[in-house]
Structure 1
Amino acid sequence: MDFYNILKSFTGIYMTGEISSSLPSISESEVAESVAQDIEKLKPSVMMQTLKELSPVLLAIAYNIVIVIITFIIAGQVIKFLSRMLEKFLKKINVDLTIRKFLLSTLKVLLYALVVLGLAERLGINQASVVAILGSAGVAIGLAWQGSLSNFAGGMIILFCRPFVRGDYIVSPKAEGIVDTIGVIYTILLTPDNKRISIPNGALANDVITNVTANDTRRIDIQVGVSYDSDIRKAKKLIKDAIDENGLVLKNKEILTYVSDLASSAVILGGRAWCKTDDYWTVRWGLIEEIKVKFDKNGIEIPYNQLEVHINESGNSLINKDK
C-alpha cells in the first residue's frame, strides 16, 4: 500500500493532482522517507547509541555535582569547627554575648560565601559575573536601606565601644529603662512599669546616654526645706541621725549634712550618703520618710505654699453702706 492510500484511509482526505504553485512540491516518497527516519530514531539501538554519545558529558556533569556536594559538606563541618573555636576564644576573653553572636554570624556568612564562589567556578560559573551581580545588588540594597544602615553602624559602635551592656539602666533623650536586648538595628529597653521600648541604634549612638547602673555604688542627695523659725542645727542633726540609722547606707563612705540655700520661704537643708546601686531607691524612699517622721516628733516645721486672705472690715462696711 503506498503512502497516498495510507493517508486516505486514516484521514479521509483525498489528494488531488493540483498543487498550489506558491508552495514547494514534496513528493510522497520524500515524506515517507522522512517518517521512516523518525521511526528509525525511536528504535532502542539508536537511542542507546545516542546515550553512549552523550554519556561522557552527563558523567562529567554528575561528577562535578557530586564533588560540589561533598566539598560543601566538608566545608560546612570545617566552618562549624572554626565557629566553635572562635566562640571559645571570645568567651575566654569575656566578650559580650551580643558581640559574640554577631561575630560568629558574620564569620559563617563570609566563609559560606567564599565556599559558594569557589564551587561556582567548579560548575563553570564565572566568578567575576557572580561578584559583579553581588556588587550591583549591594549598591541597590544600600540605597534602599540608608536609614537601616545608619542604625546598623550605630549598633556596631554600641557593641564594640560598650557604653552600656544588657541589664544596665540607661537614660536617653528618647526614653529610659533597663537594657533588655542590644540588637544590630534596635536596642530594646524595659521601663520600670514593664513597657517595651525599641530605640534605633543610630539615635542612641548619637545621643547623650546616662548609664545609671554602670558603677557598683551611687550617691544619694536629699534636700528638704525647713521654716526660718526652726532650729537648723537640730534639723541637720535629725537628718544625720536618719542616715546613720539606715542599715543600707555605706558607713565607710562620706556622710554629709549641710545648708544648701536660703530660699524666699524656707531654709534648704541637704544630706548626702552612699549606698549600693541596687539599693538606691529603697534607701532614698526610706530616708525621706524617716526625716519627715523625725521632724514631726521634734517640732521642725516644713513650710509649704499657703494662701492668706485678709478681709478689710472697713471696706466691707463702706460697701454695705453703699448698698
Structure 2
Amino acid sequence: METDILSPDIVNQAQSWISNNQELIIHYAVNIAAAILTLVIGFIAVGMLTRGVNSVMKKRNVDTTISDFVTSLIKYGLLAFVIIAALGRVGVQTASFIAIIGAAGLAVGLALQGSLSNFAAGVLLIGFRFFKAGDYVEAGGTAGTVQSVQIFTTILMTADNRMIVVPNAKILNDNIINYSKEKTRRLDLVIGVSYRADLKLTKEVLTRIINADPRVLKEPECRIAVSNLGASSVDFIVRPWVEAGDYWALKFDLLEKIKNELDANNIGIPFPQMDVHLIKNDVA
C-alpha cells in the first residue's frame, strides 16, 4: 500500500492559502518580474551609454586617461542607480536602503582609507594632467608607458611588454618624471680617453661624429668639453639635443660610432688599472 507524500489536510490548506492570497502573489510576482526586467534593461542601457560616452570623447580627441576615468565613474554610478531602482520595484524602501548604504559606506570608508586615497589621487592625476596615455613616465617606484588611469590604479606597460598596476596614491605621493612631456631631450654621454690622447684631436673626432648625424638638432647647440680629470681617464661630456622619439636609437648609434672612430684615430679608451710598486728591504 502506497503512502501519500502530502496529507489531504496540508494540500487543502495550501490551496486555501493560495486562493485567499492570489492578489498578493500576483502583486509580488509582477514586482519581481519588473525588478528583473529593470536589472536586465538597466545593465544593457548602462553598457550602451558608457560605450557611447567613450566613443564621443574619443571622436573629440579627449585623452584616453580622461575618457577611461570618466567612463568608469559613469558606469559604476549608473549601475548603483539601477540596482536601487530594482530593489524599489520589489518593495524595498529605498530611502532606508540608501541610509543603510550610507552608514555601511562610512564603515567601509574607514576600513578602506587607502582605496579612497587612491580614488582622490586618481581625480587629481586626471585634473592636473601630469601625464597622458602613451607617455613614458617614471612614477611610483617603476617606469613604463601609460596605458590608462583607472579609478584606483594606473596601468603602465614596460618596454619588455609587462603590465604594471600602480596605486594612484603611490604615484601622487612620489616623484613623477615624464620623459614624453617635451618634444626634445638632451642626450648626456661621458666619454673617457687616455691621458696620452691628443685632446684637440679627440674633440674634433667627437664633433665630426655629432655633426654627421642628421638626428642631432642644430639648436640648442651640442656641448662637447672636458668635464673631469679622473683617476685613469680624461672625461669628455657630449650633450647633443634630439627629438624625444630618437633618443635611444641615437644613443646606441653614437656610442658605437664613437668607439670605432676613436680606435681608427688611435685614441685609447682606458680601463681602471692600478700600479703596484714593490719595495725590497734588505734585512741585516
Same topology, TM > 0.5: yes
Q: CA RMSD in A?
A: 3.6
Q: TM-score, normalised by structure 2?
A: 0.77
For residue 198 of structure 2, what is the amino acid of its counterpart? D
- Name the residue aligned to 1:135: 102
The separation in 2 between residues aligned to 1:76 and 1:183, in whole angstroms, is 21
The separation in 1 between residues aligned to 2:75 and 2:158, in whole angstroms, is 35
CA contact (8 A) 2:43 2:82 kept: no
Gaps in structure 1 of 5+ consecutive residues: 1-38
The separation in 1 between residues aligned to 2:49 and 2:240, in whole angstroms, is 51
Alignment of 1:16-27 (within 5 A): none
CA contact (8 A) 1:255 1:271 kept: no
Q: Which piece of structure 1 moves more, 256-265 or 233-242?
A: 256-265
CA contact (8 A) 1:240 1:257 kept: no
Does the residue aligned with 1:218 lie in a helix, a strand or coil? strand
Number of aligned residues: 277
Change (3 A) 1:239 1:145: same
The separation in 2 between residues aligned to 1:297 and 1:173, in whole angstroms, is 45
Q: TM-score, normalised by structure 1?
A: 0.69
- Name the residue aligned to 1:243: 210
CA contact (8 A) 1:259 1:267 kept: no
**Cα displacement (A) at 1:177:** 3.1
Change (3 A) 1:234 1:254: farther
Q: Deviations over 1:168-207 (max 9, x none)?
A: 3222462223345544333344444555544322111111
The separation in 2 between residues aligned to 1:310 and 1:105, in whole angstroms, is 72
The separation in 1 between residues aligned to 2:192 and 2:71, in whole angstroms, is 57
**Cα displacement (A) at 1:130:** 0.5
Q: Deviations over 1:115-154 (max 9, x none)?
A: 4434544443322210121112212221222223222332
Change (3 A) 1:101 1:167: closer
CA contact (8 A) 1:257 1:269 kept: no
Q: Does 1:144 align with 2:125?
A: no
- Name the residue aligned to 1:258: 224
**Cα displacement (A) at 1:65:** 4.2
CA contact (8 A) 1:227 1:267 kept: yes
Does the residue aligned with 1:214 lie in a helix, a strand or coil? coil
**Cα displacement (A) at 1:262:** 4.8
Does the residue aligned with 1:131 lie in a helix, a strand or coil? helix
CA contact (8 A) 2:262 2:268 kept: yes
The separation in 1 between residues aligned to 2:254 and 2:50, in whole angstroms, is 52
Between 1 and 2, higher relative CO (CA 8 Å, sep ≥ 6) is seen in: 2
**Cα displacement (A) at 1:303:** 4.3
For residue 225 of structure 1, what is the amino acid of its counterpart? G
Does the residue aligned with 2:151 lie in a helix, a strand or coil? coil
For residue 210 of structure 2, what is the amino acid of its counterpart? I
The separation in 1 between residues aligned to 2:236 and 2:73, in whole angstroms, is 57
The separation in 1 between residues aligned to 2:95 and 2:203, in whole angstroms, is 80
Change (3 A) 1:267 1:41: closer
Does the residue aligned with 1:310 lie in a helix, a strand or coil? coil
Change (3 A) 1:281 1:62: closer
The separation in 2 between residues aligned to 1:129 and 1:264, in whole angstroms, is 76
Sequence identity of aligned pairs in percent? 34
The separation in 2 between residues aligned to 1:181 and 1:100, in whole angstroms, is 9
Q: Does 1:293 align with 2:254?
A: no
CA contact (8 A) 1:256 1:272 kept: yes
- Name the residue aligned to 2:128: 161
Q: Does 1:273 align with 2:207?
A: no
Change (3 A) 1:106 1:254: closer
